[in-house]
Amino acid sequence: MKAIVYKEYGPPEVLHIEEVEKPVPKDNEILIKVHAAAVTSGDVRLRKADPFIARFFNGLTKPKNTILGVNFAGKIEETGNNVTQFKEGDEVFGSTVSGFGAYAEYVCISEDGVLAKKTANITFQEAAAVPFGALTSLHFLRKANIRQGQKVLIYGASGSLGTAAIQLAKYFGAEVTGLCSTANLELVKSLGADKVIDYTKEDFTKSNQAWDIIFDTVGKSPFFACVKKLNEKGIYLRSVHINMSSLVRGLWTNLTSNKKVIGGMAGESKEDLLFINELIESEKYKPVIDKSYSFEQIAQAHEYVDKGHKKGNVVITIE
């Protein structure tokens, strides 16, 4: 099969197409013909090995996992002998979690993995875009015990996490403020944000507003200014963008105040994906696609994501 391979860390040009061995499903696994895969900021960071700590689990001098890609959508081509939840021909989407390998024509995944049947009201491209933003945002909003009536600020409201977080926070009954640039105001409003702040014209840290939850989806918010903008017992979420400085400041805040800082890596589960799938089916959640590239345009896709200005998600289509 064809796969997008990288054998050294570096710029988008290290990605290239190669013929590799097609995977064979084990008894509890499913072989999926991939129709679309998401190109996420996580993929970009692994490609660059930035931050450097990425090398400690993916290879110090060169990548151990040479095929990137975690989120995918496609059609089941073959099932293992013991598979009971799915059948050949089912259209599915999901995440390989830390297994990577979705930048390829085929991928194998356990039937008990983060996998669900695709609903008819979204495309393969939209389905591939679901897991990263939706599962990560759901994880952190639940960590904050989000509930009806709370005031929530989404920092970076137009990205893959931000567009997901707006819709999920509204589903849970929160009043949502989205922070984004001028170009993305209408998108953020269309997703259900009650208020929108244009950060190019207004400094949210100097407003009279305070929030119960501030969710930084891009890792660029001013730490102590955000803590100050929290209501009593408010929670500051910092998604997966963490470093030693923010860890120390978060620990200090948790120990010395009634406010809380929550960061770290997001967990993914089949149950959460099925929950999101129900929201999609009932049209209470819709993934946002910014750009779609062909398999051969993977370098251009990475270059675009690298710029950090995408609206929602970027995907590659694999025919």
Residues 305, 47: Cα–Cα separation, whole Å:
12
Beta bridge mates, 33: 75, 106
List, for the chain, all residue ranges whose pLDDT scores fall below the cut of 50.
none
Q: What is the pLDDT of residue 240?
A: 64
7: its two tokens: 């054998």
Q: What is the pLDDT of residue 242?
A: 62
219: left (phi > 0), else alpha (psi -120 to 50), else beta?
left
Sign of torsion, CA 77 80 81 82?
A: negative
pTM summary value: 0.94
Residues 239, 54: Cα–Cα separation, whole Å:
17
Question: DSSP states of the chain as a string?
Answer: -EEEE-SS-SSGGG-EEEE-PPP---TTEEEEEEEEEEE-HHHHHHHHT-SGGGHHHH-SSS-SS-S---EEEEEEEEE-TT--S--TT-EEEEE-TT----SBSEEEEETTSEEEEPPTTS-HHHHHHHHHHHHHHHHHHHHTT--TT-EEEEETTTBHHHHHHHHHHHHTT-EEEEEE-GGGHHHHHHTT-SEEEETTT--GGGSS--EEEEEESSS-S-HHHHHHTEEEEEEEE-TT---HHHHHHHHHHHHHSS-EEE-SPPP--HHHHHHHHHHHHTTS----EEEEEEGGGHHHHHHHHHTT--SBEEEEE--
- Tell me the per-residue pLDDT of 19-61, one tens digit each, with 9 for 90 and over: 999 999 999 999 999 999 999 999 999 999 988 888 988 999 9
Q: What is the pLDDT of residue 99?
A: 83
Domains present along the chain, CATH in parentheses: 2-131+287-317 (3.90.180.10), 132-262 (3.40.50.720)
Residues 80, 92: Cα–Cα separation, whole Å:
16
Q: What is the pLDDT of residue 38?
A: 98
Q: What is the pLDDT of residue 256?
A: 86
Beta bridge mates, 298: none
- Tell me the per-residue pLDDT of 249-272, one tens digit each, with 9 for 90 and over: 788 888 889 999 999 888 899 999
